[in-house]
Amino acid sequence: MADRRPRVYLAGPDVFYPDAPAIAARKREICARYGLEGCFPLDNVVALDAPTPAENAFRINDANIELMNSCDAIIANMTPFRGPGMDGGTAFEMGYMRAQGKVIVGYTNDGREYAVRVKNTSRAIRARGNGTFEDQDGLLIEDFGLADNLMMHCGAMRSGGDVVVGNAGALELQTSLEAFEHACALLAEKLRA
Amino acid sequence: MADRRPRVYLAGPDVFYPDAPAIAARKREICARYGLEGCFPLDNVVALDAPTPAENAFRINDANIELMNSCDAIIANMTPFRGPGMDGGTAFEMGYMRAQGKVIVGYTNDGREYAVRVKNTSRAIRARGNGTFEDQDGLLIEDFGLADNLMMHCGAMRSGGDVVVGNAGALELQTSLEAFEHACALLAEKLRA
């Protein structure tokens, strides 16, 4: 890592946002300010002209896997996506990088703990005994004071990284890059250490 | 793998179900019928008596990572969890095992494609052009005819595994083990090949 900037895979549901290319450009720019080379999943986009949708999906999958293999670290957008939890594809990528021993820094624009978000979006909650709660479907509400499921939050910590918890407000949930910038600063520092 | 049964990590939101230990026992039993040793995350449970919730979370995380490292393959419950997508912790584990080159077989008890589930649960959908749609928050609805995000579905396929799509009906979404049993049969066959 001495001769080149560390390459950072920029995971997140950002690829589904209305202005994904603009967000990619801003993220790359912020990365550069911290001496990092930001690699966005869309960078590797291949022609999506395969005969079937599934074949196009494989092309994207293969490109993302190759991009992750070429990166030294990952910054993962853990902001809730279509429910109280983070985007599953991003969680997959955190796990993938974790197994490769790479540093993971997660960030979220939602300042609430996972358990609070679940309680806020549940139609009903019930006490399960020994201080735990379940939602209307009888599903245990994981409550360790973390930003999301413990595999992701603890996984980031154990990787030598961290989780940056921002608090962007509903209108800026998709657009704020404040927590992302903190994540870049933190990652740059960790990679220098 | 000649002298012992292949060890299979049984990932899923099952740990949050009301009857998790009973489900674990049934899953292990089905695995055994197919010559597999089912390893359930709760198997490794350590005392959760740490001074802080976060420390307990780390104990579970470390136990799950250790258990995954000791397994040859993973069967992942991809049934939707608190929204249209699968459980994020399970997605993390699929990514983790994928990076280790282990075989992944996913299954879901919900027969609908991911895009259909998102459309069913969206308050509004809008055409985005070139045949794609976005939900009420402007988020692209990924639509490749797959069971979930392409990283998980294609990841399972690329690992030498597959995704078994069941169709259990709302009342049995958590309890049916029909698709799980197919996943066991399929995995046993793939591991013999």
Instruction: Please tell me the predicted confidence (pLDDT) of residue A43.
Output: 78
- With H, G, I as helix, E, B as strand and everything else as coil, classify residue B162: strand
d(CA B58, CA A146): 11
Say if residues A99 and B104 touch (Cβ distance below 8 Å). no
Kindly state the helix (H) or strand (E) to which residue A62 belongs, with its residue range. helix A53-69
- What's the mean per-residue pLDDT of chain A? 95
pLDDT over 90 at B29, yes or no: yes
Residue B173, token pair as written in the block: 């979404």
Whether B23 has its CB under 8 Å from any CB of chain A: the answer is no
CA B128 to centroid of chain Cα atoms: 30
Do A56 and B144 lie within an 8 Å CB cutoff? Answer: yes
d(CA B43, CA B37): 12
User: In this predicted model, what pLDDT tens digit does every residue of B70-122 receive, in sequence order?
Assistant: 999 999 999 999 999 999 999 999 999 999 999 999 999 999 999 999 999 99
pLDDT over 60 at A1, yes or no: no
Owner of token pair 């499921």:
A149
- Percent of chain A past pLDDT 70, that is, above it, reads 98
- What's the mean per-residue pLDDT of chain B? 95
Whether A129 has its CB under 8 Å from any CB of chain B: the answer is no
- Sorted by sequence, the CB contacts under 8 Å of residue B39 that are 6+ apart come out as B7, B8, B9, B10, B67, B70, B71
Whether B105 has its CB under 8 Å from any CB of chain A: the answer is no
Cα-flanking dihedrals φ and ψ of residue A175, to 5°?
-100, -25
Cα-flanking dihedrals φ and ψ of residue B105, to 5°?
-115, 120
Whether A50 has its CB under 8 Å from any CB of chain B: the answer is no
Per-window interface: A 71-100 vs B, CB < 8 A = 81-89, 91-100
Alpha-carbon gap: B193 to the closest alpha carbon of chain A (Å):
23
Q: Which residues of A touch B145 (CB under 8 A)?
A: 52-54
User: In this predicted model, what pLDDT tens digit does every residue of A3-46 receive, in sequence order?
Assistant: 689 999 999 999 999 999 999 999 999 999 999 999 999 777 77
Instruction: Please tell me the predicted confidence (pLDDT) of residue B3.
Output: 67
